[in-house]
Amino acid sequence: MGKIAIIGSGSWGTALAQLLACKGFDVVMWTRRLELADEVNVRHTNQTYLADASLDVRIRATTALSEVLEGALAAVFVTPSRFLRATVEAAAPFVPAQLPVVICSKGVEGESGLLASQMMAEVLGYAARIAVLSGPTHAEEVVHGVPSGAVCASQDVATATFFRDLFATDTFRTYTSEDIVGVELCAAFKNVIAIAVGVSYGMGYGDNTAAMIVTRGLAEMSRMVVACGGTALTCMGLAGAGDMVVTCMSQHSRNRRFGQYYLAQGKTLADFESDTHMVVEGAQAARSLRVLQERHGVDLPLTDAVRKIVWEGSDPALEARVLVDRPLKDEIYGMESYSQAKA
């Protein structure tokens, strides 16, 4: 069926490699670590990220980007957002001019405020061949064929459709969207809110509190999506509400675990990364979203609280009190003014 290039060897990259290999594609996965490439090629496992998964023999790994991309039908970028630009720039010499590319990383570039698709178009050119994939898709379940759903978004309908069909299986249902801005911002936001939910559970609060945070997080997400030119309704779809619910409520979620078992207990981001060897995308997003927040003048109180706890060492109890003491107002506010300003 052809070859697919997977750029990244973490849990999500490995799960997508397995999904595509089980469809009959030859999958070549890029990793920074020679020992991991040897493990995938010899033992067909990735013990660091998906210890209980036996990988298809059609998957092989290498540390050479040129080898991964040579002759590929499509490229799937699944590196953490903070490493994405450097990885794309390193891969650029080996990416053909019109090769379809899909981004599965979730975040906003810190200094520029660029979305991943915007940054990739800046580096690779030809924005119409770029898509993003997002939705409620924990790698730990997708790799074992647990029914899941995701959305493929691109400014080009043909590109979105190409990746929709590429990833679709009997257990992985895919949809298309033209709202690439909305889908990308939803993907970044839900990780931030999951940290907040984790902190609330870690502080001893209950399900009512978590539901309130999730709902108010959706409001923040919607305000930012509309301010940046996306569609508010996207926030009610798989990339928004769907991914928000699973990331906030599941123990598979590293963002929730980070909030609940680390931040709420006085531990740090460095502690989590040292213990798990995993990146907390929500921690990066809480900081990088501030660029867009200031640019568009959007009210993001939950995001502010998470940023202060993670990056400024603020006490979670203090930030909870700041949120509770905010003035009372209409439940739905902000999006109307952004829409009118755009008009």
Distance of alpha carbon 67 from alpha carbon 216, whole angstroms: 45
- Rounded to 5 degrees, φ, ψ at 308 are -65, -40
Token pair in block for residue 65: 């980007």
* Residues taking part in catalysis: 190
Tallying the residues shown for the chain, one arrives at 343
Token pair in block for residue 83: 């490493």
Rounded to a whole number, what is the distance in angstroms from the first to the last CA of the chain? 47
Three-state secondary structure readout of the chain:
CCEEEEECCCHHHHHHHHHHHHCCCEEEEECCCHHHHHHHHHCCCECCCECCCCCCCCEEEECCHHHHHCCCCEEEECCCHHHHHHHHHHHHHHCCCCCCEEECCCCECCCCCCEHHHHHHHHHCCHHHEEEEECCCCHHHHCCCCCEEEEEECCCHHHHHHHHHHHCCCCEEEEEECCHHHHHHHHHHHHHHHHHHHHHHHCCCCHHHHHHHHHHHHHHHHHHHHHCCCCHHHHHCHHHHHHHHHHHHCCCCHHHHHHHHCHHHCCCHHHHHHHHCCCCHHHHHHHHHHHHHHHHCCCCHHHHHHHHHHHHCCCHHHHHHHHHCCCCCCCCCCHHHHHHHHC
Per the listing, tokens 């996207």 go with 234
